[in-house]
Amino acid sequence: MNAETTALAKLTIMRQIDALEKMAERIDHEFQKAIDIILGRRGRLVVMGMGKSGIMGRKISATLASTGTPSFSVHPGEAFHGDLGMIHPDNAVLDVSVEREACRNNLAPTSSTTATVVMGDALASVLTELRGFQPEDFARFHPGGRRLLTRVCDVMHRENLPFCQLDASFIEIVHTITRGCLGLSLVMDGDRLAGLITDGDLRRALEGAQDHRLLCARDIMTRNPKTARPEERFAEAESRMRALKINSLVVLDDRERVTGVLQIYDIASDVPSL
């Protein structure tokens, strides 16, 4: 890429940034008026636009519909061929067409489409806040909504958990992990979680010990393992495991007692679709 190409690309981006900043400065009572109109109608918000603006309008309509504002898009040309029948007196109409495009030849839309989408997002964000729209509401409109509604307690392993005590021998730990079928053992100090031993911890202990028969759980375990709460959202726990690059979270109740184990392997199979 030569310098002229790079400069032109940067100029285009800067023009769009400038257009958005100017648009933000012009937000005034007219924006509030639009919000009041939308909230005041019992019907849907109909988004209309020609050409590229129409494509942006369909995106805006989809965003609104999935965030609590019933909406659909209508092509102006099709409206004159029967689609006007889709529009009810209780509907509000949002026209996203533009009269002048932003490229140097006033041909292809550039900043105008960017500004259209951003303004649509601003409308959707404000409406979402004013309607008190919650993640549970979004989940009802989302193909993967069941995942968003699911809590850790809905999918965690809670039966026959693999426990061992701090002084458990190497062989006892191996037997516990094998019986538990989770690839780990929960190390307890009485009835409190002290640590976690995984298959990987066992392999590393074997590599580093002169005589593994002398090792006990306290020598091998990972102290302060990562945990989750039963009522935590499943999606949040999943994101945490992926970010930390770990396979399991120990689930503790509000008294810090072990109530289950959540594993990343469960994510695809245990959460049904809507």
DSSP 265: G
Q: Which residue has the tokens 């004159």?
A: 80
What does the pLDDT look like over 209-265, one tens digit per residue?
A: 788 888 999 999 999 999 999 999 888 999 999 999 999 999 999 999 999 999 987
CA distance 188 to 100: 70
Calculate the alpha carbon distances from 168 to 43, 160, 239, 247, 248 in Å: 66, 18, 33, 23, 21
- Is pLDDT above 70 for 270? no
pLDDT in the model for residue 268 = 53
Please say whether the dihedral angle defined by the alpha carbons of residues 93, 20, 129 and 143, taken in this order, is positive or negative.
positive
Q: How confident is the model at residue 184 (pLDDT cuts 50, 70, 90)?
A: very high
Angle between helix 51-66 and helix 111-130 axes, rounded to 10 deg: 20
- DSSP assignment of 111-167 equals HHHHHHHHHHHHHHHHHHHHTT--HHHHHHHSTTHHHHH-BHHHHSB-SS--EEETT
pLDDT in the model for residue 138 = 76
- Is pLDDT above 80 for 98? no
What does the pLDDT look like over 149-165, one tens digit per residue?
A: 788 999 999 999 999 99
Q: How confident is the model at residue 96 (pLDDT cuts 50, 70, 90)?
A: very high
- Is pLDDT above 60 for 128? yes
pLDDT in the model for residue 260 = 96
Are the C-beta atoms of residues 241 and 247 closer than 8 Å to each other? yes
CA distance 192 to 251: 12
User: Domains plus CATH for the chain?
Assistant: 3-133 (3.40.50.10490), 152-270 (3.10.580.10)
Are the C-beta atoms of residues 94 and 49 closer than 8 Å to each other? no
DSSP 168: -
- Is pLDDT above 80 for 176? yes
Give Cα 258 to chain centroid, integer Å.
27
CA distance 70 to 53: 20
**Closest by CA position to 134, among listed 32, 44, 45, 233:** 233
Q: How confident is the model at residue 274 (pLDDT cuts 50, 70, 90)?
A: very low
What does the pLDDT look like over 20-34, one tens digit per residue?
A: 999 999 999 999 999
Tokens, residue 247: 């396979």
- Is pLDDT above 50 for 273? no
- Is pLDDT above 80 for 100? no
DSSP 221: P
What does the pLDDT look like over 39-84, one tens digit per residue?
A: 999 999 999 998 888 999 999 999 999 899 999 999 888 877 778 8
Q: Which residue has the tokens 């780990």?
A: 184
Mean pLDDT of the chain: 88
pLDDT in the model for residue 272 = 46
For 120, residues 6+ apart whose C-beta sits below 8 A from its C-beta are 56, 57, 59, 60, 63, 64, 96
CA distance 37 to 236: 36
> Backbone phi, then psi, for 17, in 5-degree steps?
-60, -45
Tokens, residue 147: 């995942």
Calculate the alpha carbon distances from 194 to 86, 172, 185, 258 in Å: 63, 17, 11, 11
CA distance 250 to 247: 10
pLDDT in the model for residue 210 = 80
CA distance 173 to 20: 61
